[in-house]
Structure 1
Amino acid sequence: MSHRTKIVIGAIALALSAGAFAQGTPKPSRIRGSIVSVTGDTLVVHRNSGDDVKIALKETTPVSAVKNIKLSDIKPGSFVGTAATTGVDGKLTAKEVVVFPESARGTGEGHYAWDLGDNSTMTNANVDTVVQSTNGRDLKLSYKGGTNNVTVPENVPVVTFASATRADLLKGKKVFVVATPGEGGAFVGQRVVVEKDGVAPPM
């Protein structure tokens, strides 16, 4: 499998995790925290919520990373995923932006609730226009069924996908894990995004 194919598969898997899995499958959980240990196929993560959880990794569980890009790299025509908060005025302010590779365009498309703080949402959409504003840049986004305007402040993480392997799952590294419930309170990992080269997954 080529380097590019691995990144694209990672992007698609993450995008799909943002929306609904097929009906009848367990609802995925998004686990954010730091690696405590990796023993065999078991990953232990200390969640930001304060507890430790065990996550079983299958041989096929994808592992990827992210790398920083510039806010100016977001152009009209880019396909992005952005977690944002809704202000009292109803306006969306980005907390992070992931720029997907072109091959992943359309995956996870839409606007839905997210769990990165109070009143947070996720929008996976095409960038129609980019306008410089006093607070950063304003993105007009369109997706099947609607449009959104999101302000992206200058200090917000903007990333795209990078390759990683299980060898990058090291103690202390930050991770974002999409997992489904397993037995005895454990989880089964569906995808892992790990901190690499000092860049932690912001989603």
Structure 2
Amino acid sequence: MEYRPYKPVNLTAAGRDYAVAMVRRHRLLETFLVTTLGYSWDQVHDEADRLEHAASQTLIERIDALLGHPDRDPHGDPIPTVEGHTHRPAHAIRLADAAPDIYRIARVSDADPARLNRFSGHGLRPGQTVRVGEREAGELTISLPGNDQAPLVLAPEETKAIWVSPAASAGLRGPASI
């Protein structure tokens, strides 16, 4: 790491490799906790923070193999490979920037457990298809396919916590697909 007072920190190649390895450990642990141990996606972040420093490399490799080498964690964040490579959706944008159309949720921020709990209660998870409606006073209306509930109104800060891919790049074909 290169440090200069009041300047940005620049990681060395070794520092970058270490940081990517820690991200990999954290996201694999989150995935393991949700898929294998039954944690909810709003509970896993703090638990994975504690475990990522204690888990051996052998344990992380076995978790990766047990899970079938996943490429995304429960929130849709990419899990780096052993080599440090990640794949991000090419056309993902924040829901806050989405025009009215059909999208697939690519990622949901895990920064706020209460927000994750609210999103989960409405079915807003990675992979879910949503129809984005109009904005009014900064709020955005969305609806979920096959959901008989009223459209959901999201506050501006909520729309900044969800990333979506346009239907065309998500492999969907307009309204008939939902």
The question of a shared fold, defined as TM-score above 0.5 by the shorter chain, is answered with no
More contact order relative to length (CA 8 Å, sep ≥ 6) = 1
Q: Which has the greater radius of gyration?
A: 2
Q: TM-score, normalised by structure 2?
A: 0.38
Q: TM-score, normalised by structure 1?
A: 0.34
Q: If each structure's strand is expressed as a fraction of its own residues, which one has the higher value?
A: 1
Q: If each structure's helix is expressed as a fraction of its own residues, which one has the higher value?
A: 2
